[in-house]
Amino acid sequence: MKSNRNTDKTTEDYLEAMLMLKEKNGYIRSIDVAAHLGVTKPSVTYTTKRLRERGLITMDKDSFISLTQSGLEIASRIYERHVLLTKFFVNLGVDEETAAKDACMVEHDLSETTFEALCRHAEKYSAEPINKKTD
């Protein structure tokens, strides 16, 4: 199932991973994306080519990856969903590891309407505030 804004799960997973690696390391390399996602280097090569063709990333002469504005918007949206859904599941009593795995599965297919409703519900009933950015 495709999520909002006509992006597929693979695209969203890669862009989210790239954003996370940029925040963690200060740079993005294909080898780190492969390790983070648990995929092969050839898979990353194939997908980064597709992402470049779609204008979601760029690569410099040293093969460091940068997210374009469009890529960053998608990555930020998915990462925000991941963080908020993980918090929501933890607040329901799910352990952190399971909550993060489940959030990763749900973040792509959940409609914006349902996601917003979950955020409103979480704000009402959670011990820890769920901070959703408003754009």
Over residues 9-55, the pLDDT tens digits come to: 999 999 999 999 999 999 999 999 999 999 999 999 999 999 999 99
* pLDDT tens for each residue of 90-105: 988 999 999 999 998 8
- Four-point Cα dihedral 16, 34, 102, 108, nearest 10: 40
Reference 10, options 45, 47, 53; nearest CA is: 47
Which domains are seen in the chain, by residue range?
7-73 (1.10.10.10), 80-125 (1.10.60)
* pTM tops 0.85, yes or no: no
